[in-house]
Amino acid sequence: MVTLESFHLFRSLAPDELQILRSITQERKVAAAGEIFREGDPGDGLYCVKSGLVEISGLINTEARRVFSQLGPGEIFGEMAVIEDRPRSATAVALKQTEIYFVPRNEMLSLLQRSPALAFNMLQEISHRLRDFNQLHLREVVQAERLAVVGNFARSIIHDLKTPLTIIGLSADMACMATSTTEKRTQAQERIRKQVLRINDMVGDILEYTRSNRDDAALGPANYADFIKEILPELQAETENKFVRIELQGEPPAAKLLLDPRRLRRVFFNLVHNATDFMLDGGKIFFRFNGDGKEIVTEIEDTGPGIAPLIADKLFQPFATHGKSHGTGLGLSICKKIVEDHKGRIWTRTVPKHGAIFCFALPLAN
């Protein structure tokens, strides 16, 4: 149980001011679950918790109520009603049997005018309350952003998994058909095997994306031309289903690069899938290669609508999506991370009347 002079707000009062405070203060008892005031009520004065526990809450919308704070002995509430003559913006309820000191608004204002020390303490109390409220708001904003990131991340995974799961389903149906030949069943089994591996790679890439460091031990010397020739049939098989054709504009260079073939495949699949998403009526994807003795630059261009200049610098941001009804752009951010883990760089360039052009450079092996 707390006496009036023990409250931080009143500790600076002179004896005569404390005597005035006692004379204007009312003591009230509130039963458990009893309402002290409700939002919309007139702001009648200042409340101080003598004993018990008070919960302050407010309506976020017409149905949801949000608890702002719980106040115990020695704490004050309702102080804003002393400063401004406006209705209450929150509801105060006793969580258990509670005793409170109540100082009416007009009497409290008169005391504040007589005591500079009390006015200063009141200003400090309000400042602390606003600071606490700001911290609460910031925590809620951060939590909401985290939940949004989790949601976007989940949607991105689902988007990336749709294609291989669809292929697995269609291949399984074909293999189980009574009229299916041995050759068709073998082809279906091979498609399923490749898509299972692809899903495994996707999950691995997403896990790696969340890691801050990348071990260079996975990079090994590889012939770039052999690598391109190995993944090209897989890419062509997928794009043909969307009436998109991949064309090589020049042979890939037979240069030795330090690669993680499994992860670099993901870059090609992501960029090709991104291109087909914007060519709903079909089209072409061109692969070009050039080098300067230090690095090999790969360009992937499509015959789609191209990249708007306003979004070009945001394409590789995690969860950013532009112009698509699905996906979040995580695929492009993973491309950026994989290329950078290969000590390379990735960018876009714009050519009038051309589609999107994605470029990435990988250094030659020493």
CATH number at residue 150: 1.10.287
In total, how many domains does the chain have?
Answer: 3
Residue 321 has pLDDT above 70, yes or no: no
3-state SS, residue 262: helix
Q: Which of 52-61, 166-175, 338-347 has the highest mean pLDDT?
A: 338-347
- Triad 338, 342, 343: Cα angle to 5°: 120
The answer to whether 109 touches 43, Cβ cutoff 8 Å, is no
| Average pLDDT of the segment spanning 276-280 | 86
| Average pLDDT of the segment spanning 10-20 | 89
Q: Of 96, 114, 132, which marks where a domain is finished?
A: 114
Closest CA to 94 of 68, 120, 70, 114: 70
Same domain, 161 and 108: no
Same domain, 253 and 168: no
The two structure tokens encoding residue 167:
């292929």
Tell me the DSSP string of 24-48: H-EEEEE-TT-EEE-TTS---EEEE
Which of the two residues, 127 and 347, has the higher pLDDT score?
347
Which single residue is written with the structure tokens 């997403």?
206
pLDDT tier at 48, thresholds 50, 70, 90: very high
Same domain, 232 and 355: yes
pLDDT tier at 327, thresholds 50, 70, 90: very low
Same domain, 245 and 337: yes
Residue 64 has pLDDT above 50, yes or no: yes
Which single residue is written with the structure tokens 């950026």?
336
- To the nearest 10 degrees (0 to 180), the angle between helices 116-176 and 330-341 is 90
Q: Of 114, 144, 169, which marks where a domain is finished?
A: 114
% of residues, the chain, pLDDT over 90: 38
- Host domain of residue 293: 216-363
CA distance 183 to 288: 35
Same domain, 272 and 151: no
Which of the two residues, 359 and 293, has the higher pLDDT score?
359
3-state SS, residue 3: coil
State the chain's mean pLDDT as an integer. 84
Residue 346 has pLDDT above 60, yes or no: yes
- Considering only 165-179, 288-302, 348-362, which range has the smallest mean pLDDT? 165-179
Closest CA to 288 of 275, 276, 301: 301
The answer to whether 215 touches 253, Cβ cutoff 8 Å, is no
Which pLDDT belongs to residue 147?
61
Which pLDDT belongs to residue 253?
94
CA distance 94 to 50: 12
% of residues, the chain, pLDDT over 70: 83
Which of the two residues, 147 and 104, has the higher pLDDT score?
104
Buried b (16+ CB within 10 A) or exposed e, 45-82: bbbbbbebbbbbbeeeeeeeeeebeebebbbbbbbbbb
- Triad 225, 226, 229: Cα angle to 5°: 85
Which pLDDT belongs to residue 152?
63
- Triad 354, 357, 359: Cα angle to 5°: 155
Same domain, 229 and 208: no
Same domain, 242 and 357: yes
What residues contact residue 348 under an 8 Å CB cut-off, 6+ apart? 307, 312, 315, 356, 357, 358, 359
Which pLDDT belongs to residue 98?
96
Same domain, 235 and 207: no
Q: Of 212, 234, 266, which marks where a domain is finished?
A: 212
pLDDT tier at 326, thresholds 50, 70, 90: very low
CA distance 41 to 28: 18
Same domain, 292 and 326: yes
Which of the two residues, 174 and 363, has the higher pLDDT score?
363
| Average pLDDT of the segment spanning 21-43 | 93
Same domain, 358 and 224: yes
Encode pLDDT of 157-200 as tens digits. 676 677 788 888 888 888 888 888 888 888 888 888 888 877 77
Same domain, 275 and 153: no
Same domain, 84 and 202: no
3-state SS, residue 301: strand
